[in-house]
A and B are shown apart, each in its own frame.
Chain A
Amino acid sequence: MIVNDIRPLLAPMISILCAVLIFWRGGNAFLRRSFSISAAIVKWVVVFSMLQGSLAGKIYVTELIPFVPGISFLLRVDGLGMFFGMVSSTLWIITTVYAIGYMEGEHARKRFFAFFALCVSTTVGIAFAGNLFTLFVFYEMLTVCTYPLVIHEETPEAMRAGRKYLVYTLTGGSLILFSTALTFYLADTVTFAEPGILSISNGVGLLAAMFAMFMLGFGVKAAIMPLHGWLPSAMVAPTPVSALLHAVAVVKAGVFGITRIIYNIFGVSTLKDMALEGMDVASVLMWAALITIICASLMALMQDGLKKRLAYSTVSQLSYIVLGVSLLTPDGALGGIVHIANQAFMKITMFFVAGAIYKKTHKKNISEMHGIGHKMPLTMATFTIASLGMMGLPPTAGFISKWYLCLGALDAGKMVVVVILLLSSFLNAAYFLPIVYRAYFMKPQDGNLKTDEAHWTLLVPCVICALYVIALGLFADLPFVPLALARGAVTGFFGL
């Protein structure tokens, strides 16, 4: 059921308004904080108010003026969009609290918070985009808005990372634009539909080329190897940026785009038809994801910088999602989509911890973190929970994703996927558990065992996210949690 509503537009507009207010009066710390926090809460309420309807199968639509002929600026909240929108607006609140604490005493805070709000705005725009064109518009805006955050430190290293980021993402953006134009030419529309708008009659070779370009385009932000190069470098950004943008907004925009392309532009049946014609592009994507999962985990093993290790872990985990959606089975898609939320909560906890440790002790490298668990027990406890989640142990969120991914792989008859998922769990254990071991079971270098936690604005977000990680695992089958929403989206994609 389609309902015309203003709320899909309202959600991104709130953050834009917030950004404008911060640019205007953000010099004042109190005003800046109030704007950020209240905008985050109001936005969450707006998104949440649509949740009930969305679960019941309603689709909220705001159609604005035609942007170019035949294509209007369309916002449309369906199951998948709601899912992503809900995740990012929830995490925005938590990250804002964290960022206020973390950025204390840093330079250019006005710019930082304004662009932070803009990024969230464009992320929700991506979630709610109703056609490929609107998605592209927000996708490019996200690239531009994250740039000042990536280079926030303004050091030569940060500038280099920023340049790398732009080269990767803008090249990807051009490929997306090119194939969007091709889609419009073939289908005379770019509005997302279930199941897809392209059909096999458009020519298998052309479709395969388009699919490849779309995947290369979105794959940059989704950090599919070998397009991942920008992500580890971008870790020079302040930790809240790494947390929200490189665990949630930017990278998830990439995988979200891939999901949209597979299920709303091509459609399951078209991809299966293409496979029958000898162009099994979904399998190619699946293999790329599998290779990324393993390679990125191996790279993560070799990193000593905590944030660098987390970055490679992100690269690996993102490919779980890509893997899930490329299996083309309902369970696989469910596992992939729900991992968007699960990975977000787990990874953001870890980034928060990394930031808290850095703020408190100025340590960036794992090799320096002997006995940090004695000093910051609660912080490291949350890290441990998130690590267990990454490995996929029940009752954490990670288990749910892995379970459905394995089911999906078995449905598709691909044993190799299950094997690689298990192997990846081992690798996850191999690069996260040593950190936990070092923190708790090794003595600090200075022999000081006194508890000295980070400021509450840094600690509380860690704890909340860690609790979420457990809650998402324990209560996965209740309504109102991400799994139910993801299930709704999958039902639509497969016409169940």
Chain B
Amino acid sequence: MAEFAHHCPVLMVITFLAGAVLTPIVSKSKKKFSFWWAFFVSLLALLFSSCAVWSLYTKGPISYWLGGWEPPYGIEIYFDYISSITFLMTVLGALIILYSKKYIEHDIKEEKLPVYYTLVLLLLCGMVGFSITGDMFNLYVFLEILSLSGYALIAITEEKLTAMASFKYLVMGAVSSMCVLAGVALLYNVTGTLNMSDMALRLQQFEPIATSYMALCLFVVGFCVKAAMFPVHVWLPDAHALAPSPVSALLSGLVIKVGIVGLLRVIYGIYRLGGAIDFTTVTNFMGWLAAITVLVGAFFAFFQDDIKMIFAYSSISNIGYIIMGISLISFTQPERGYLGMVGGLIHIFNHAIIKSTLFLCAGAIIYKTGFRKLSDLRGIGKKMPITCGALTIAALSIAGIPPTAGFICKWFIVLGAIEFGRGIWAAALLIGAIFVFAYYIKIVNAIFFREPAEPILEVDEAPLSMLIPIVILAISCLVFGVFAYLPLAVIKPAAATILGLPPTYIPPGG
């Protein structure tokens, strides 16, 4: 078993990659079969990721040498606490693929179905690979895989607007990828290695030089574009709102988190471990920008009428939460950043669940009614009670109303910010949360407390293959709020190791 678990991380990537490549072949004669194939692939990957995570928490990180070549010469797959996000990716991936079955048949032509599932699997392959690799160049390669499949997925419906949105994303995404690549090149120039832990070791041996700083800045800019932080967030609203809903759920729930994983890898995996460069100027700057991001995202969301546009802007706001949480770091006293880090990490987890719920619910509503503006969707709650109930739970959760999942994140980040002496960030977060609630209440009002218009009256509840993922996710929003210790059991050791504390670290007073 232990032997098997050792291979699991790499098997995940291979499953997705092979699955993606084989999709057009297996569904050559019967296009609709591609769904079953993709679903099977995602379940298989889920099995591998569960094994890997289980092994991580019982035996510690897995270091896997591709082809048996010893790092730093060969490529290393390093499955550590940050990588446990792959579990989230595979679970959500499977649920979203299940959801896609009906939705996407409705949205695109039948002969393009295999293309869609190939791209989704490739996207998942890129994200999983990105999260588990221990090699910088590999990181870049996976980043490109996931970005390219993302661009294509947004434009898959072949409408003019989606093509525009995709192009906008592509331009900014390409620039950010270039930044990351340049950062990799500069670090390689300084250290002469591409393996992350080796890089960290070697950075220690050098005096801090401008090149290392430069590389850090390039990484931060690159990953912040991917994560859609203010002021480089402009691509997100169109891309996430215009994409087909399951794709929006993937993009908003997971893909923007990849930017955060990248930041964690570089700042904490290389620079903090390297210890040679005081990066707190950069993280401090990130934190302030994050505080602005929270407010800007929440503010613009308020003026949208299109429900998916609202969710897209709220993603920007929530990315601000996460980056704020992980930016609360002190170079000399790592334990001071602990609570913020826990908050940031748990929000990666919770936001993925909540935002996927929201986009999937919006998708179900759009699928049934064809409308996407709040003003057209009045009274839909009476016709689709389960979907709208789930939407309400998720809306409460994202506004951070206790006892839902979103509240836990807010609590930790606020507490972390206060302990760190950044009351203003905490205040920004709370003000943002009020805005968030204000626009979600607009949605709840429209769907439940208004008289339905003529076309809405003929609508009924969404099909089962859409309801199952929605209900599972909505219940998780509640369960992970009330039983917050479940995700925290996983996230606390992750936060501690990222900060270089022992995994069993317990903060004073807690």
Please list the residues of chain A having a beta carbon within 8 angstroms of any beta carbon in chain B.
Answer: 65-70, 136-137, 140-141, 143-144, 147-148, 151, 154, 159, 162-163, 166-167, 170-171, 174-175, 177-178, 181-182, 184-185, 188-189
A166-B438, A170-B437 given; A70·B509 CB < 8 A: yes
B415 is an interface residue with CB less than 8 A from chain A: yes
**Chain B interface SS verdict (over half):** helix
| A68 & B412 in contact (Cβ 8 Å cutoff) | yes
Partner of B449, one of A68, A70, A159, A185: A159
- In the complex with contacts A136-B402, A170-B434, A181-B414 CB distance below 8 A: yes
Question: Do B430 and A174 touch (CB < 8 A)?
Answer: yes
A163 cross-chain contacts in B, Cβ below 8 A: 441
* A70-B510, A177-B410, A178-B427 known; A141 vs B402 contact (CB < 8 Å): yes
Q: Say yes or no: B411 contacts A174, CB within 8 Å.
A: no
Instruction: Say yes or no: A166 contacts B441, CB within 8 Å.
Output: yes
Given A68-B484, A69-B510, A185-B419, also A174-B431 (CB < 8 A):
yes
Taking the complex as formed, is B452 at the interface, i.e. its CB lies under 8 A from any CB of chain A? no
- In whole Å, how far is B321's beta carbon from the nearest beta carbon of chain A? 14
The digit string for B433-460, where 1 denotes a CB below 8 A from any CB of A, is 1100110010001001111000000000
Shortest C-beta distance, B276 to chain A (Å), equals 32
A144 lies within 8 A of B396 (CB): yes
Q: Is the CB of B415 within 8 A of A181?
A: yes
Task: Give the residue name and chain of the A residue nearest to B507 (CB).
Answer: A69
Bound together, the chains give a CA A438 to CA B410 distance in angstroms of: 54
- Are A65 and B483 closer than 8 Å at their CB atoms? yes
Q: Bound state CA distance, A188 and B510, in angstroms?
A: 8
B396 contacts across to A, CB distance below 8 A: 144
A sample of 7 inter-chain contacts (CB < 8 A) reads A66-B485, A68-B412, A70-B510, A140-B402, A151-B449, A178-B426, A181-B414
Q: In the complex, what distance in Å separates the CA atom of A137 from the CA atom of B396?
A: 13
Residue of A nearest to B437 (CB): A170
Any chain A CB within 8 A of the CB of B403? Answer: yes
Bound form: Cα–Cα A452–B341 in Å: 68
Which residues of the other chain, A, contact B423 by a CB distance below 8 angstroms? 178
Instruction: Count A-B contacts at CB 8 Å.
Output: 79
Complexed CA–CA distance, A304 and B277 (Å): 71
| Contact, CB under 8 Å: A159 / B445 | yes
Q: Does B508 contact A (CB under 8 A)?
A: yes
CB atoms of A181 and B418 under 8 A apart: yes
Which residues on B sit within 8 Å (CB–CB) of A174? Answer: 430-431, 433-434
Known A137-B402, A144-B401, A166-B441; contact A67-B484, beta-carbon cutoff 8 A: yes
- Nearest B-chain residue to A182, judged by Cβ: B418
Tell me whether B488 is interfacial, beta carbon within 8 Å: yes
B196 at the interface (CB under 8 A from A): no
Q: A70-B510, A151-B449 are in contact. List 12 more A-B contacts (CB 8 A).
A: A68-B484, A68-B488, A140-B401, A141-B401, A141-B402, A154-B449, A167-B434, A171-B434, A181-B411, A182-B418, A184-B415, A189-B509
Interface size on B, residues (CB 8 A): 38
- A69 CA / B423 CA spacing, docked (Å): 21
A-B residue pairs, 5 tightest by C-beta: A188-B509, A70-B510, A69-B510, A137-B402, A174-B430
Most chain A CB neighbours (cut-off 10 Å) among B434, B441, B449: B449
In the assembled complex, the Cα of A174 lies from the Cα of B411 at a distance in Å of: 11
Binary A-proximity of B369-400 (CB < 8 A = 1, otherwise 0): 00000000000000000000000000010000
**B121 CB–A CB distance under 8 Å:** no
Q: Give bound CA distance, A299 to B423, whole Å.
A: 38
Contacts of B418 in A (CB 8 A): 178, 181-182, 185
Question: How far does the alpha carbon of A68 sit from the alpha carbon of B507 in the complex, in Å?
Answer: 12
Chain B positions within 8 Å of A143 at CB level:
401
Report Cα–Cα, A185/B396, bound state, in Å.
26
Most buried by B among A66, A68, A163, A166: A68
Quick check: A69 and B434 within 8 Å, CB to CB? no
- Chain B residues near A141 (CB, 8 Å)? 401-403
Whether a CB of chain A sits under 8 angstroms from the CB of B408 is yes
Nearest B residue to A138, CB-CB = B402
Asked if B426 and A166 sit within 8 Å, CB to CB, the answer is no
Closest chain A CB from B433 CB (angstroms): 6
Chain B CB within 10 Å, residue with most, of A141, A167, A181: A181
* Cβ contacts under 8 Å, B485 to chain A: 65-66
Specify which chain B residues have a CB less than 8 angstroms from the CB of A65 in the assembled complex.
483, 485
Q: In whole Å, how far is B333's beta carbon from the nearest beta carbon of chain A?
A: 16
Which residues from B are CB-within-8-Å of A68?
408, 411-412, 484, 488
Of all chain A residues, the one with the shortest Cβ separation from B506 is A69
Q: Which of B408, B415, B423, B438 counts the most A-chain CB atoms under 10 A from its CB?
A: B415
Residues on the A chain within 8 Å of B408, using CB: 68
The residue on B at minimum CB distance from A189 is B509
